Structure 1
Amino acid sequence: MSTQPVPPSMVLRPQEIERFDRGSGVVTIPFVGRWNCAENRVTTGMTVFSPGTGIPLHSHNVEESVLVYEGEATAVIGEDEFELVAGQATWVPAGVPHCFRNRGEGSMTIYWVYGGRDVTRTITATGETFEHLSDSDRGAGPARQGDSAGPARQGDSAGPARQGDSAGPARQGDSAGPARQGDSAGPARQGDSASRA
Structure 2
Amino acid sequence: MIIYNDSDLQKIVFSAIIIKVSSVVKKFGSIAEFSIKHNFSGVTNGNLLITAEMNSPPYRLEEFVEKVLIPNGFINELDYVFIEEMLTKGVKGEVSELINEPHPHCKNINWLQSIIVQDGNFVWFSEPSLNDFERDSNFRLYKNLLYHEEEKIKLNPRIIKIDETYVHYTVSDNKMRYKIHRDALWYNELKYGKSIFSK
Query: Structure 2 length as normaliser, TM-score?
Result: 0.27
Which protein has the bigger helix share?
Answer: 2
Query: Greater CA radius of gyration, 1 or 2?
Result: 2
Which protein has the bigger strand share?
Answer: 1
Q: Which has the higher contact order (CA 8 A, sep 6+)?
A: 1
Query: Structure 1 length as normaliser, TM-score?
Result: 0.27
